[in-house]
Amino acid sequence: MDKGFYETVPFHELYDTQFDQATLATSDKMQMLFARTGNKVLYQKYYGNEKLEAVVDEIYDAMQSFHAE
């Protein structure tokens, strides 16, 4: 049943990344990374105790190598 409730999700821009633009949002125990480089867009959802922000460069590298193949 939809009660018309929408949660405000805290987010912040990530400036020290290889992405052209990156934003990290958090909700309860979930973290969401929204990132763009050129015309490629990535949405990564993570449930866990580690900080997703700590591996943004590794995610960028994986995205680049995936699209290179």
Q: What is the pLDDT of residue 37?
A: 92
Give pLDDT tens digits along the chain (69 positions): 455 677 788 999 999 999 999 999 998 889 999 999 999 899 999 999 899 999 999 999 998 887 665
Instruction: Give bridge partners of residue 44 from the DSSP assignment.
Output: 33
Every domain of the chain and the residues it spans: 11-68
> What is the predicted pLDDT for the residue at 42?
93
* Identity of the residue numbered 59: I
State the DSSP H helix or E strand holding residue 19, giving kind and residue range, or none if neither. Answer: none
CA-based radius of gyration for the chain: 14
